Amino acid sequence: MSGTFLRNVSCEMVQMIEPCTNSLLSFAPDPYDVGTAQFFAAVSCGVVGLLTQCLYYLDQCMESAWVGVDRNLCLCLFARGKALQRLGKHVEAIRDFDKVLEMQSDHAHAVFRRAWSHKVSRAKASFLFTTAVFFLS
């Protein structure tokens, strides 16, 4: 199957999931379940590249009881850092990856993604500095 086909199917699934998530949020039995629904809505949006919606749900999840469990907080921070990274917001992403690593120092994926954001940020800073020097010359 082509990537375009899978992306279209995934987008259709997210469009079906979002109203369900919103319904669940109004009937959720407790704040923990609300956070669970928000996290999985965020993951679904992230998979298909709807990163703004992904961040919206992750930010909502960060205010729920679901992140009261350290493991869930790590999952949410990592997912948010990854979405920020995909949007090119590397400084913000590094902050989230740092928080994950404070809680779980052996989180290999957070170490890798944090290093990647540092590399990209430095490369961009170096390019901007070189460009500025060129124009000032």
What is the rounded CA–CA span in Å between residue 55 and residue 79?
Answer: 9
- pLDDT per position as a tens digit, 88-114: 999 999 999 999 999 999 999 999 999
pTM of the model: 0.76
pLDDT at 70: 94
Residues 61 and 95 grouped into a single domain: no
Residues 107 and 129 grouped into a single domain: yes
Residues 61 and 109 grouped into a single domain: no
- pLDDT per position as a tens digit, 63-76: 999 999 999 999 99
Beta-carbon contacts of residue 7 (< 8 Å; ≥ 6 apart): 48, 49
